[in-house]
Amino acid sequence: MSQVKIIFHVDLNAFYASCAIIKEPFLKKEVFVVGGRTGSNSGVVSTASYKARALGIRSGMSIVEAQRIFPKLLIVPTNFPLYQKYSNLFFNFLKKYTKIILKGSIDEAYMDMTEISKEIHPLKLAKEIQQGLLKEYGLPVSIGIGPTLFLAKMASDMKKPLGITVLRKRDVSKVLYPLPIGKIFGIGIKTRELLNEIGIFTVNDFIAPNNKTKILEVMTSNSYHSFLDDIYGRSSDFVDPTLYDVPKSISNEETLVYPIQGYELVYDHLKELSKTTVDRLKNEDLVARTVSIKLRTSDFKTITRSRSLLEPIEDHDLILQIANDLLIENYNNEPLRLVGIGLSQLILKKDLKNEITLFNYDKFDDREINLDKLIKKINEEYEKEVITFGVKED
């Protein structure tokens, strides 16, 4: 039997709100949300603090609706540079324990802790990571431990904030089967509604063989079997650090056979180059905070100019407008042999949201997974602090 994996899913709790509290500690005692639009009370809630959540305020809710629930609600503007700073600190901290880390989003990581767990109990490691991040940076995390990425993710969601949960394959029937189907990671609101309409309300309903035919009327066969593999603990246990690698920049340039001269002609080339560049940005689900242009004259003098924005963008017209502004400011009508445009400070679009998209992993063949050999002493040594299929109460 192949080696059992021990996967940690480390999830920063209410990340944007936590960063806001780090910057402005008084917010810890306040009911607040992060989001809206700068200078107004419009827009939507990006992240709700736990005090706001207790009142029924949720991510995706309009600011107006949130204020109806709690008129004294404080609205904190988004601060992406701050989030990136603490995200970097978070991932660098985790690298102390293993290099096999998959960045699921700006605020979550999957860690293959199999090797180090042979020497140190997984729960001891989890507690050390949790306490270290809170003490050093003020970042609260919940940690799920399981034999697959999916089960580790499901475990981390069971207790927030500051939870530690172990979810073994043998515990799935007791822990997951009674859950509403919408609690399964990857089942979105629309899919949940479609399933509810045909009488599928719980995980137990979903896995019942007699419900398969009607489920396949609202879901593809691949999706159906993929969710079954996830639920039964047959999905991927492979932590691929390169899976979501983000390129540092995207650029496109053209070396010209003959020099071109004149603003309009140069702009036409820039416009064409920008289309290809922005298409790639969108295809990779990225947004950019910096736009740059590159010009090379006939005497091989190279000019590179850039402009950074407070908030990342993906809109072609806006990107072209910024590139055009740079062209107007820096082009002196010289003959050019090269024209280029670049986008940098790239961020995955999903990192700008509080929601996390399900990872797309190739499914492995079914195999028996038994965590007992690697964490058999967990219950004995930590049973008062952690329920192996439940949650740690702080």
What is the phi/psi pair of residue 160, to 5°?
-140, 140
Cα–Cα distance, 233 to 225 (Å, whole number): 12
Coil/strand/helix, residue 41: coil
Residue 95 and residue 113 in contact, taking contact as beta carbons nearer than 8 Å:
no
- Residue 335, both tokens: 């003959």
Q: How many CB atoms lie within 10 A of CB 92?
A: 9
Closest by alpha carbon to 257, among 341, 342, 339? 339
Catalytic residue among 24, 30, 108, 368: 108
- Residue 375, both tokens: 């964490």
Closest by alpha carbon to 157, among 170, 173, 169, 146? 146
108 is catalytic: yes
Q: What is the 3-state secondary structure (H, E, C) of 130-172?
A: HHHHHHHHCCCEEEEEECCHHHHHHHHCCCCCCCEEECCHHHH
As to burial, measured by CB atoms within 10 angstroms (0-12 exposed, 13-18 middle, 19+ buried), residue 190 is exposed
Closest by alpha carbon to 355, among 20, 32, 58? 58
Cα angle for residues 55, 127, 240 (degrees, 5° grid): 90
Upstream peptide bond of 161 is cis (omega within 30 degrees of 0): yes
What DSSP assignment string belongs to 305-333? EEEEEEEEE--HHHHHHHHHHHHHHH--S
Residue 290 and residue 306 in contact, taking contact as beta carbons nearer than 8 Å:
yes
Residues catalogued as catalytic:
108
